[in-house]
Structure 1
Amino acid sequence: MSKKKSGITFPPSSLRLTRSYQLSRILLSNESSVAAVKPMPEVDHAAGENTSLFGKYEVGRLLGCGAFAKVYHARNIETGQSVAVKVLSKKKLTASGLASNVKREIAIMRRLHHPNIVKLHEILATKTKIYFVLEYAKGGELFARISKGRFSEDLARRYFQQLISAVGYCHARGVFHRDLKPENLLLDENGILKVSDFGLSAVKEQLGVDGLFHTLCGTPAYVAPEILAKKGYHGAKVDVWSCGIILFVLVAGYLPFNDPNLMVMYKKIYKGDFRCPRWFSMDLRRFLARLLDTNPDTRITVDEILREPWFKKGYKEVKFGDLGLEWKSEGEEVKDLNAFDIISFSSGLNLSGLFHSSFEVEDGERLLLKGSPEKVVEKVVAAAETVEGVVVRRRKECGVELEGCAGNFAALVEVYRLPGELVVVEVRRREGEGGAFRDVWRNKLRPQLCAASSSTTTSDRQGQPVAAGES
């Protein structure tokens, strides 16, 4: 996010549209009527220029301001890494009724790991403020680039491919952004696009009984016609529409639907009344017609976008193994456990909890099995590959990374060697839904693993689980 003056306009060929107008949002809850959300006074920041935040981050210059937050550049004191710190006031969030939105934003960002999505490093908080520590996008907003002039089709395609890669990743994991626009697309120092600001995003768990969303939200110029109809909408469909608007803006340098009168602009959106400039190629015109189809039932889907000839040119798909999930471990080698390691598994001096427990599986557990670490890892992989929708990634010798159906959880299975041809298998949920993780592990993976292994404990129990971190 970067500082801008209000009144920035697109090139003369477009109708004028100020930044403050673009940033206006429309919100509708079940209890309230349609109303434009006006920017609130800037959030006070306890830490001034070049001050320390929790002794961990050196906070520097202001990068930008939003309705409920300020964003600062900061530096990790220990590593020297640049980060962006988004500061929110708890009092103002509570007064505006948006505290639940922030909680949802945090939960959503924690489950998203993609090279084209701004990464959430950590959340810090005091009694009065919440601090999002985010990946720093040195290149600023894509809006700043396009406000200087339109892009070539090749450059626009490159950014659009990255946008669709991120949006498709989100949709596969049940996350819908609902406020995609150039102001929420950042660029890093290498010009790589990063989707940001999930403050208005939703998850599939929020769907109504009819399987649709009903909260009216977004930015006027980028909102889909079905949102204006107020009859419910599919999150994926409205995101695709917004992506179509963004693509048009990148190549044209102005908005496809625009008018100084908001209601007139909405009528144009509802009717799909737009024209492509003469420099658009025929392939792009056909593609945009499918993206900006006013009928959500026939509008192009993300899967169909990936097969479009205009889109496919030079496209490199991001695979699960390329997503850069940061799994914290002590190395890639199989770890031999000594007595001190075993004791460290227990929170007290009673080690019986290491080998059996009546606790329910919550975020993980441990199993004591017979066999070599290599063979046990192979059995974990074989079991996981039989579960539909689970993605498996081998971690050299030490374990396996798992991603649940539609990305609803991520887990790490690690194997530790014990004397006497025994191993400790430790599985931990790292991201996502606890219920989904427990269902897959307890009902599908663990039974297969225990059945395939000759398991024992000091009392010859077969494959007894241990709740991770319990004693």
Structure 2
Amino acid sequence: MENKSNVLLKRYELGRLLGQGTFAKVYYARSLITNQSVAIKVIDKEKIMKVGLVDQIKREISIMTLVKHPNVIQLYEVMATKTKIYFVMEYAKGGELFDKVAKGKLKEEVAWKYFNQLINAVDFCHSRGVYHRDIKPENLLLDENDNLKASDFGLSALAESKHQDGLLHTTCGTPAYVAPEVINRKGYDGAKADIWSCGVVLYVLLDGYLPFHDSNLMELYRKIGRADFKCPSWFPPEVKRLLFRILDPNPSTRASIDKIKESTWYKKGLKSKHINFESENKDASSLDTETSSWHESASVAAEGKQEPIRPPNLNAFDIISLSVGFDLSGLFEEDYRRREARFIFRKPATVIVSKLEEIAKKLRMKVKKRDAGLFRLEGLREGRKGILSIDAEIFEVTPSFHLVEVKLSNGDSMEYQKILKDDIKPALQDIAWVWQDDQQQQPHQQQQHHLQPHEVQHERLPQLQQEEQHKQQQQCQPFASVHLVS
């Protein structure tokens, strides 16, 4: 029989204690609705009010809502009673990374994996204007698949916290991992301070010991200020070079995340990772067909040896569903409007496909064919949130009238928005009749009459469909769908 005293707000069954601090305790719990394992951080309201930490708790909630990334612990929901605040978070079954390093140094490839995931998480946080300020193995958790998850954003700062000099001034962090400029109390760049801490973590992963250590705190700070450390003889030369660039006491010459990713050691590990991934998946069946396959099928079709491929048709219900008034997606996905854009063309499908291929070539992305009318553009290297992948789906309204929907399939939304704005829209502008997205609705500049895109999409589409149906009954020219990935 269920122990009702362990049931929280009729939603979660609390289990064992996972850890505790001055103001909070963290418990393992299970959702009574989905049966999902979660971690619940229980904060005592009275304690945080006494020491004035209410604003810090609010900031932590804001930050965790902002940094949704595969290598960051996710905040599912926040609940409260008169005396407690409850953070319901992703449960990291593997525990702290600290527990692994406490047993001794890690193999180089394992250390690279964790460091790579840490850099990806930190890079993503910085792109959202979030600075962690307490990066250390105790705050890096591991999930059931041994993937790293950055946690504990209690000391984090937002970009808006900077003073007029553009720097942060609150001294915080764990002494052995803190950057020298933070100790000096003259202001510091949050991103560069985080990078220093990442360098200390990398050293610990490879050696099992801290690069800066002393029982006397002032002496420890002096060592940090001078970057007084030595690398063991077994460290590969490229690792030593990278560490000396990261653990540079001068923040202005310290390696940036971009420079870290360009380093020999980092790229060597990335190459090895991709080779292993391809090896594991070379025998797996896939729905994707490379660009060359599409050209093959297209040429065969042109010779009459294969059925022409044509995009899916939009019926009246599809057209109505595009209307903002009937669009219920916003109820389910907050950033839906920022993830897609629609373009309308009075061009054959082959012209649109050629243009998409040009865009992919310019962006150095692979073009993969999925189903009729759907293409995927895929990046060749990892971005802040994995491989960037963009879908472009072509729909036929009439044989010479098409709607193309471009949307983010995988990766970082900010990277996608930049490519959409700087590359895809300008490239399609010369052949697009109108386009519509969340930011603006622009008719083609050569169009003589000024129609709002929503008129074209939702009111005039059925009319145009009827007008052209009696003119063109032939099938659309052979083409393939494209998926853009960067």
What TM-score do the two structures reach when normalised by structure 1? 0.62
Match for residue 118 of structure 1? 72
Is the CA contact (8 Å cut-off) linking 1:394 and 1:400 kept in structure 2?
A: yes
Aligned partner of 2:248 in structure 1 is 293
- Identify the match of residue 465 of structure 1 among 439, 453, 456: 453
CA distance in 1, matches of 2:378, 2:45: 35
Deviation at residue 160 of structure 1 after TM alignment: 3.1
Partner of 1:229: 184
Whether 1:98 aligns to 2:56 is: yes
| Partner Cα distance (2:450, 2:362) in 1 | 23
Cα offset for 1:203?
5.1
Contact in 1 for aligned 2:92/2:144 (Cα 8 Å): yes
Distance 1:132 1:377 in 2: 47
Q: How does 1:151-170 map to 2 (within 5 A)?
A: 151-153=106-108, 155-170=110-125
- 1:417 is paired with a residue whose SS is strand
Mark the runs of 5 or more structure 1 residues left unpaired by the alignment: 1-46, 323-330, 351-360
Query: Is residue 67 of structure 2 the alignment partner of residue 109 of structure 1?
Result: yes
Q: Superposition pairs for residues 385-400 of structure 1, below 5 Å?
A: 396=370, 397-398=373-374
Structure 1 residue 285 displacement after superposition: 4.9
Show the counterpart of 1:241.
196
Sequence identity, in percent? 42
Question: How big is the shift at 1:154?
Answer: 5.4
Task: Tell me the CA shift for residue 142 of structure 1.
Answer: 0.9
Q: Name the residue aligned to 1:19.
A: none
Which residue is 2:282 aligned to? Answer: none
Aligned to 1:179: 134
Quick one: structure 1 residues 288 and 373, their matched pair in 2 at CA, closer, same or farther if it must change by over 3 Å?
same
**Match of residue 4 from structure 1:** none
1:270 deviates by 1.8
Q: Distance in 1 between matches of 2:24 and 2:369?
A: 39
CA offsets, 1:366-390, max 9 Å, x none? 5554456786576567568879xx9
Q: What's the CA shift string for 1:147-185, capped at 9, x where partnerless?
A: 233435554444334433444455566554322100111
Q: Report the Cα distance in structure 1 between the residues aligned to 2:345 and 2:263, rounded to whole angstroms.
A: 50
The answer to whether the 8 A contact 1:87-1:130 is kept is: yes
Deviation at 1:219, TM superposition (A): 1.5
User: Structure 2 vs 1, CA of residues 338 and 140 (structure 1 numbering), >3 Å: closer, same or farther?
Assistant: same
Q: Decide which structure has greater helix share.
A: 2
- Residue matched to 1:148: 103
Task: Give the counterpart letter for 2:395 in structure 1.
Answer: R
2:173 equivalent in structure 1: 218
Aligned to 1:452: 431
Q: Distance in 1 between matches of 2:168 and 2:210?
A: 26
Count of equivalent residues: 391
Q: For 1:343 and 1:54, how far apart are their aligned partners in 2?
A: 41
C-alpha change, 1:132 and 1:381, in structure 2 (3 Å) is farther
- The 8 Å contact of residues 377 and 400 in structure 1, kept in 2 or not, is answered as no
Equivalent-residue separation in structure 2 for 1:103 and 1:367 (angstroms): 37
The residue matched to 1:98 in structure 2 has which SS? helix
Verify: 1:64 aligned to 2:19, yes or no.
yes
Alpha-carbon offset, residue 223 of structure 1: 0.5
RMSD: 5.1
| Cα distance between partner residues in 1 of 2:201 and 2:186 | 24
What SS does the corresponding residue of 1:293 show, helix, strand or coil? coil
Match of 2:466 in 1: none
Which string of whole-angstrom CA distances, capped at 9 and with x for unpartnered residues, describes residues 117-155 of structure 1? 135274354576766554432211011122233435554
1:417 equivalenced with 2:375 (yes/no): no
CA distance in 2, matches of 1:194, 1:279: 28
The structure whose Rg is larger is 2
The answer to whether the Cα contact below 8 Å between 2:67 and 2:128 also exists between their aligned partners in 1 is no
Do the aligned partners of 2:375 and 2:391 also contact (CA within 8 Å) in 1? yes
1:159/1:338 Cα in 2 relative to 1: closer, same or farther (>3 Å)? same
Distance in 2, Cα, partners of 1:162 & 1:393: 27
Aligned CA distance change for structure 1 residues 214 and 463 (closer, same or farther; 3 Å): farther
* Cα 1:304/1:451, change in 2 over 3 Å: closer
Deviation sequence 1:36-76 (CA, Å, 0-9, x none) = xxxxxxxxxxx964x47775x66544333345544443456
Report which stretch shifted further, 287-296 or 219-228.
Answer: 287-296
Aligned counterpart, 2:210:
255
SS in 2 for 1:452: coil
Distance 1:423 1:130 in 2: 52
**Unaligned regions of 5+ residues in structure 2, if any?**
278-286, 289-309, 328-336, 436-442, 460-486
- Quick check: 1:368–1:463 contact (8 Å CA) kept in 2? no
Provide the C-alpha distance between the structure 1 equivalents of 2:48 and 2:324, rounded to a whole number of angstroms: 38
Give deviations 1:380-401, integer Å, cap 9, x for gaps: 67568879xx989878354668
2: CA distance, partners of 1:363 / 1:380: 18
